[in-house]
Amino acid sequence: MRLLLVEDHVALADELCAGLKQLGYAVDWLTDGRDAAYQGAVEPYDLIILDLGLPGLPGLDVLAQWRAALINTPVLVLTARSAWSERIDGLKAGADDYLTKPFHQEELYLRVQALLRRSHGFANQNQLNAAGLRLDEARQVVHSQDQTIELTGAEFRLLRYFMLHTGQVLSKSHLAEHLYDGESERDSNVLEVHVNHLRRKLGRDVIVTHRGQGYCFTGTEAAE
């Protein structure tokens, strides 16, 4: 999952980027509201963490521009302001959740997980369940019946994205856009290797190849 963090407090942003990357997210970081307004409109982010007190363009104006352009990416708003009226303004502008500084980073991480699940129809699950698999995002392992299957970091990121998009055909370019940050080299051949590793661990019927289109996570057998 690819996230955009818009935060001009460098020390806080460094900590959040490090923590989010440990949890398997690809993170792009911006400090200026004008840059955020543009990049959030043109890049395919799965979730945006947006501070309100930004140079260049206030966070509320950035959010309003996104929503006016019909960009429905989930947005978690961060702010040092505690007035209830400002929280209301953020929600009215289109924020999906709100967190007031100072906050515990663990709370932010849990809110990110919850927002991503909710946006993909898994609002009532504490853990991600799909196609007979249960993904433990904290330990980055997957449970299949009574078996616990270890995953590499790349396999975990790929499987989480597949499970959140069960039944959808996803091209290699789409997967690369959502699994890597803007600075990473995107290699479709590497993605194919990770898909094959997941098939060996979970069974070949879990991920189906649609020739010329991409992959589909279904958990059911289909001819390639």
Collapsing DSSP to helix, strand or coil, 31 comes out as coil
Output the pLDDT for position 204. Answer: 87
Work out the mean pLDDT of the chain and round it to a whole number.
Answer: 91
Output the pLDDT for position 123. Answer: 73
On the CB side of 24, how many CA atoms lie within 13 Å of its CA?
20
Mean pLDDT of the region 111-135: 86
How would you label 18-29 residue by residue, b for 16+ Cβ within 10 Å and e otherwise? eebeebbbbbbb
Beta bridge partners of 129: 134
Mean pLDDT of the region 54-71: 96
- Lowest-confidence region among 12-21, 23-32, 113-122, 211-220: 211-220
Output the pLDDT for position 221. Answer: 39
**pTM as predicted:** 0.91
Sorted by where each starts, the structural domains of the chain and their CATH numbers stand as: 2-119 (3.40.50.2300), 128-217 (1.10.10.10)
Exposure of 155 by Cβ count < 10 A (0-12 exposed, 13-18 middle, 19+ buried)?
A: buried
Residue 87 has pLDDT above 60, yes or no: yes
Report whether the peptide linkage leading into residue 102 is cis, meaning its omega lies within 30 degrees of zero.
yes
205: phi then psi, degrees, rounded to nearest 5: -75, -10
Mean pLDDT of the region 127-144: 90
Residue 197 has pLDDT above 70, yes or no: yes
Residue 224 has pLDDT above 60, yes or no: no
Residue 97 has pLDDT above 70, yes or no: yes
On the CB side of 11, how many CA atoms lie within 13 Å of its CA?
0
Residue 223 has pLDDT above 50, yes or no: no
CA distances from 104 to 73, 156, 180 (A): 24, 25, 26
pLDDT classification of 83: cutoffs 50, 70, 90: low
Residue 72 has pLDDT above 50, yes or no: yes
Residue 129 has pLDDT above 90, yes or no: no
pLDDT classification of 155: cutoffs 50, 70, 90: very high
Spell out the alpha helix ranges (H) of 51-142.
Answer: 59-68, 84-93, 105-119
Output the pLDDT for position 222. Answer: 35
